[in-house]
Amino acid sequence: MGWREELEREAERCVPDRVFMLTDSNVAGLFEWPVEVHGVPSELIVVSAGEDSKSVEGLAAVWRRLAEGGATRRSLLVNIGGGVVCDLGGFAAATFKRGIRHINVPTTLLAMADAAIGGKTGIDFCGYKNEIGAFKMPERVIVDSRWLLTLSPELMADGFAEVVKSAMLGSAQEYRRLLNLSGVLDAVTLGSAAEWSARFKEEIVRQDPTERGLRRILNLGHTAGHAFETRAARLGTPVGHGMAVAHGLLVSLILSERLCGLPDGSAQTYADRILGRYYGPLPDGVLDAAALVRLMEHDKKNPKQGQIAFVLLRNFGDPVESTVVDADCIQNALTAYSEMTV
């Protein structure tokens, strides 16, 4: 059953008075959008593709369209897109009229494996990723793998980073399988891996829906990854979230070898067989260790001011929830990272 049919069933179940569909400029042109869902009038809201839409201004634009369209607490917001649309739309749903229902229809591998799942919503603020947000669980996540056929190789690789992250956390066997993939990353190759990753995240979220403990492990690779992503954006050379996380994972593996006993050579193997195979280098100027450490100091996952926390691994499938790492150790790891990615 495709996403349209699933959406019809959800509309029948929750009986909204109006349906609003939020998407971005990349997805909007792919289909002729329905003017109603299960007999309920629907309205299309289109935001610009890219991280810039995850802003106060972008959020206000969605609020305005909901208000002008007569949305009530009985209305339904359907977020059809990648991570940006799911984050932005989820936060709009969490805050408009103090909360309206929403459904996520992820259209990218990254969103299917990670961003659409778990109820984390938010926008960027003052140059920092996801600085303002809320936990708001969607009524449903409708996954239709046919969306993957619309993706470029770059977008497939962007999502692959989150799939690899989940495998590192949850299963040494699954991680070894991903290390041994050959050929291009496509819907056939990654379909089952994305499903495994989604199930893994769903189980973690079920146990810890508001990130008080166990769910923090899902931030593996994100302390350095968010710093890379923010630094690149400030330099005017933005990179995708998945690419930033892919590079951040290497930093986490280097630290894991040095601090947690991850077997020697694990970081180099990842650098050779995943990072070097599927991802290009970060833009010039991003690897400024002092600037990156300052960005990491602002990470919302840190236990207290002046401390930087990483999710690390004792082994694949055996994560350490939070390890405070000092600035000198981080800078040394960034030096090792640069040597592995030359």
Question: Mean pLDDT, to the nearest integer, of 112-138?
Answer: 94
What is residue 190's predicted lDDT score, i.e. its pLDDT? 87
Could you give the C-alpha distances from 53 to 48, 95, 103, 110, 136, in angstroms and in order?
Answer: 6, 17, 19, 17, 19
Predicted confidence at residue 312, as pLDDT, reads 98
Look at residue 302 in the predicted model and tell me its pLDDT: 92
- Please name the amino acid found at residue 314: R
Residue 316 has pLDDT above 80, yes or no: yes
Strand, coil or helix: 195: helix
Candidate from 35-39, 206-210, 307-311 with smallest mean pLDDT: 35-39
Model confidence band, residue 189 (pLDDT cutoffs 50, 70, 90): confident
Banded pLDDT at 63 (limits 50, 70, 90): very high
Please tell me the least confidently modeled range out of 36-40, 123-127, 168-172.
36-40
pLDDT of residue 201: 95
Q: What structural domains does the chain harbor?
A: 3-149 (3.40.50.1970), 152-340 (1.20.1090.10)
List beta partners, residue 269.
Answer: none
In a 3-state reduction of DSSP, which class is residue 256? helix
Question: Helices 327-340 and 241-259 sit at what angle, rounded to 10 degrees?
Answer: 110
Mean pLDDT value of segment 323-328: 96
Give the 3-state secondary structure of residue 300. coil
| pLDDT for position 188 | 81
Transcribe 270-286 into DSSP letters.
HIIIIIHHH--PPPTT-
Mean pLDDT of 233-244: 96
**DSSP helix, strand, coil percent of the chain (3-state; round to 5):** 55, 15, 30
What distance in Å separates the CA atoms of residue 114 and residue 110, rounded to the nearest whole number? 6
Under the banding of pLDDT at 50, 70 and 90, the label for residue 23 is: very high
Percent of the chain surpassing pLDDT 90: 85
Provide the pLDDT for residue 186. Answer: 86
CA 285, 290, 293, 298 torsion: positive or negative?
negative
Instruction: Name the pLDDT band for 74 (thresholds 50, 70, 90).
Output: very high
Q: Give me the residue label for tokens 């979230």.
A: 241
pLDDT at 192 over 90: no
Helices (H), 69-186: 83-95, 109-110, 153-170, 172-179
Mean pLDDT in residue range 9-21:
94
Report CA-CA distances (Å) from 71 to 11, 14, 29, 139, 303. 15, 15, 24, 17, 39
CA angle 340, 164, 283 (to 5 degrees): 45
To the question of pTM greater than 0.95 for the whole model, the response is no
Q: What single-letter amino acid sits at 319? A: P
The rounded mean pLDDT for the chain is 95
Burial class (CB in 10 A: 0-12, 13-18, 19+), 213: exposed
In angstroms, the CA 113 to CA 179 distance is: 18
149/147 Cα distance (integer angstroms)? 5
Is 101 in a helix, a strand, or coil?
strand
